[in-house]
Amino acid sequence: MANKRSTNFFERQEQARSNCRNLVYLFVIAVLCIIVAIYFAFRLVRYIYLVTEVIKVTNTSRILGKTAVFSWWDPASFVLVFITVTLFILVASLIKMHQLQKGGGAIAEMLGGRLIPKNSANPAEHQLLNVVEEMAIASGIPVPVVYILDKEDGINAFAAGLTINDAAIAVTQGALDLFTRDEMQGVIAHEFSHILHGDMRLNIQLIGIIYGILVIGIIGGEILESHRISSKSIVLFIGGILLVIIGYIGTFAGRLIQSAVSRQKEFLADASAVKFTRNPSGLANALKKIGGYIFGSQIDSSTAKQASHLFFGESHSDFLFPDSLATHPPLMERILCLDPSFDGIFPKVKKGIAVLQPLSQDIPASESNRVDASALADQPVSTKAADIINGVGKPTAAHLDHSSVLLVSIGDNIKQALNTPEDAANFIFALLLGKDYRERELQLGAIQRSLVGKGNKDEALRLCNLTENLPEDQKLPLVELAMPQLRSLTAIERRNFLEIINSLIRADEKTTLFEFSLQWIVQQYLIPENEKIFGETTFFDVSQVGYQILITLRALANAGNMGNADAARLAFSAGVERIPELACKNPDYSYTENINFAEINTALKKLAYSSFKIKQMIIDACAHCAFADETITVAEAELLRVISLALRCPLPPFLPQAYAQH
């Protein structure tokens, strides 16, 4: 694709943090330029004001006298402008950043998006949801909510969010109407690469920063719209014109920052999408359609200008410097990287409706090379411990094949149980129902108190019968498929839902690993911790979180070797040895079949605030702990998934050797 140095997930995250610091520097420079421009505009307006006031007097010598003593440099005025403008821009940026902290869904709605319901009757929307679900499972991240920009005829898409827990995918109506499944898959894979590589947070930081420096021009435009030219308002009118001109300085600076940050990331996202789908023609054809379409990738919404760097294609062109300030690489360059044989002639594209594959075939071809998803848990995995680190955030086409088979293997009756928030809630309840009569009676009593699903214990029982024979390795993916529906619950409904889940788990006075994993996932997705736009890394040294790392490794060793204390001890040692700062202290190990999940939960919350260098050590140590016996159990895979999600280091699912052979 391009000769770029290969980096793993953790290096990309550190690069994103470095880019964030660079954004701050560029922001400061832009603000200083705006301050200087506003200062001289202020002095010019004051000069004009003096002239208009004195012009009323017919004595020309008095006019000349007044203007002759006027000074363009006034330290007091400069300090006043400096403080006022700086505070104004900072407050505007902070307000915008606060709005953006609501997650990817809020950003999609800000840009005119409509949430696509799971039970949408539109076949194209249903196919889009299916593509997103496949890729989320293959990537090891929560299923993003999906939006459609109904009023946009241009072909475009974007991903937004602060973390993998609150991500949203949005596509324009033009893309939905015109893309084939392969083309849509290529574009969605491109957007997933932004999610997996930490680009989303940087992009949101950029929106907040750019809004602050664009707001000057916005105010100038409003002044011009609200005032007619007259002798009484001539000064204000001129001030509005000057603010619009100065606003273009902000626009220019904003576009410069956007283009500096965005261009290279688009090439990297294209390359990642091809590795993910193993289908360069899908993405290349999507780009060709943009080139041959009358609307191209343009976005009409004026609100979207501040977020032009989010989009898959160039959404707005600068009218003075369209090439220099483009937020995306030239279309031809991107296509030639994917299809070197392209002759540069774009096929004409007419507005219409895409040809959809039947839902029964809504997965990639080569069905004969597949394995039954229900047998995956019984096969040896192809992954080695040393491969885990480089696999974080880098799903492959084999992972996509696996997720496709998994989704197809799920019965329609179960899929329909995830269509609405009420159905999804009952489905989660069903997964937690025990087999003991007394325990189940307590649980059904708790379900009757649910505000979600209307306390329908009969529906929970029906779904329990449907899910009791599900393979263990399919249950957590189904939980995550239910999350987009549950995110639409109100705050009161969410609290009630989590209380019911707690009651269901406590009914037998013990917690299993699956129950802990389910509870943790639901809590993280429905009541996430307060995310800050610029993040909050607190721990930079292993010694600060060494105790929490040991708690995590002990739990993983015990969970994967139930009934075998010696094997558990070897697994724990294999993990500790990967972190020299801990290994040199010869930490104690104690085997127990009663894992303290409350202790693990507390440890993971603290580890989440570690630097990515430490997170890399933790994931590597956990991988060697789990693979100490060269196999991995469902319990180990579940706990590893929770650990990786807690650290926001998306770990693709482990594949059986059968996939490595195709």
| Statement: residue 658 has pLDDT above 70 | no
Q: Which two tokens stand for residue 289?
A: 């359609």
| Statement: residue 77 has pLDDT above 50 | yes
In a domain, residue 355? The reply is no
Give the Cβ contact number of residue 569 at 10 Å: 17
Give the Cβ contact number of residue 482 at 10 Å: 26
**Per residue, what are the HEC states of 394-461?**
CCCHHHHHHHHHHHHHCCHHHHHHHCCHHHHHHHHHHHHCCCCHHHHHHHHHHHCCCCCHHHCHHHHH
The long-range contacts involving 202-205, CB below 8 angstroms and separated by at least 24 positions, are: 202/16, 202/19, 202/20, 202/23, 202/261, 203/160, 203/261, 203/307, 203/309, 203/310, 204/97, 204/100, 204/107, 204/160, 204/161, 204/162, 204/533, 205/20, 205/23, 205/97, 205/533, 205/534
- Residue 290: burial class (beta carbons within 10 Å; 0-12, 13-18, 19+): buried
Q: What is the CATH number of the domain that holds 295?
A: 3.30.2010.10
Percent of the chain topping pLDDT 90: 35
Active site residue 14: no
Question: Which of 238, 263, 288 is at the close of a domain?
Answer: 263
| Statement: residue 662 has pLDDT above 50 | no
Q: What is the mean pLDDT of residues 248-269?
A: 75
Q: What is the mean pLDDT of residues 144-150?
A: 95
Note whether 598 and 633 are same-domain residues: yes
Q: What is the DSSP letter of 375?
A: G
CA distance 98 to 112: 19
Q: What is the mean pLDDT of residues 479-496?
A: 90
pLDDT, tens only, 389-400: 888 888 988 889
Could you tell me which residue, 50 or 423, shows the higher pLDDT? 423
**What residues does 342 pair with on adjacent strands?**
none
pLDDT score at 17? 62
Number of domains in the chain: 4
Note whether 545 and 613 are same-domain residues: yes
Write down the catalytic residue from 191, 266, 314, 636: 191
Note whether 577 and 654 are same-domain residues: yes
Question: Which of 496, 526, 556 is at the close of a domain?
Answer: 526
pLDDT score at 358? 45
Q: What is the mean pLDDT of residues 648-662?
A: 71
Note whether 495 and 573 are same-domain residues: no
pLDDT score at 450? 87
| Statement: residue 303 has pLDDT above 50 | yes
Lowest mean pLDDT among 278-282, 336-340, 447-451: 447-451
**What residues does 147 pair with on adjacent strands?**
115, 170
Note whether 538 and 521 are same-domain residues: no
**Locus of tokens 């329909």:** 416
Residue type, 40: F
In a domain, residue 621? The reply is yes
Pick the closest to residue 290 from 157, 200, 166 (CA basis). 157
Note whether 89 and 144 are same-domain residues: no
Residue type, 254: G
Q: How confident is the model at residue 280 (pLDDT cuts 50, 70, 90)?
A: very high
Stated as kind and residue range, the H or E segment containing 552 is helix 542-560
Note whether 414 and 500 are same-domain residues: yes
In a domain, residue 346? The reply is no
Q: How long is the chain?
A: 662
Instruction: Answer whether 191's CB lies under 8 Å from 215's CB.
Output: no
Indicate the average pLDDT of the chain: 82
pTM, whole model, 2 decimals?
0.83
Q: How confident is the model at residue 346 (pLDDT cuts 50, 70, 90)?
A: very high
Note whether 501 and 574 are same-domain residues: no
Lowest mean pLDDT among 225-229, 426-430, 525-529, 534-538: 225-229
Could you tell me which residue, 546 or 319, shows the higher pLDDT? 546
Note whether 180 and 304 are same-domain residues: yes
pLDDT, tens only, 460-487: 888 888 888 888 878 888 898 999 999 8
> Domain range spanning residue 559?
383-389+532-660
185-202: b or e for each residue (b if 16 or more CB lie within 10 Å)?
Answer: bbbbbbbbbbbbbbbbbb
| Statement: residue 359 has pLDDT above 50 | no
Q: In degrees rounded to 5, what are phi and psi of residue 44? A: -65, -45
| Statement: residue 233 has pLDDT above 70 | no
Percent of the chain topping pLDDT 70: 82
CA distance 356 to 218: 43
Note whether 81 and 155 are same-domain residues: no
pLDDT score at 203? 82
In a domain, residue 321? The reply is yes
CA distance 523 to 439: 23
Q: What is the DSSP letter of 367?
A: G
CA distance 407 to 114: 25
Q: How confident is the model at residue 357 (pLDDT cuts 50, 70, 90)?
A: low
The long-range contacts involving 588-595, CB below 8 angstroms and separated by at least 24 positions, are: 589/554, 589/557, 590/554, 591/557, 591/558, 591/565, 592/558, 593/558, 593/562, 593/563, 594/510, 595/513, 595/555, 595/558, 595/559
pLDDT, tens only, 531-577: 555 556 788 899 999 999 999 999 999 998 988 999 999 999 999 99
Q: What is the mean pLDDT of residues 141-154?
A: 94
Note whether 246 and 120 are same-domain residues: no
In a domain, residue 395? The reply is no
Lowest mean pLDDT among 295-304, 311-320, 368-377, 577-586: 368-377
Note whether 617 and 555 are same-domain residues: yes
In a domain, residue 33? The reply is yes
What is the sign, positive or negative, of the torsion defined by CA atoms of 150, 268, 270, 661? negative
Query: Angle at CA 322, nearest 5°, toward 321 and 324?
Result: 65
In a domain, residue 656? The reply is yes
Do strands 168-172 and 145-149 pair parallel, antiparallel, or not at all (unpaired)?
parallel
In a domain, residue 432? The reply is yes
Q: What is the mean pLDDT of residues 516-540?
A: 77
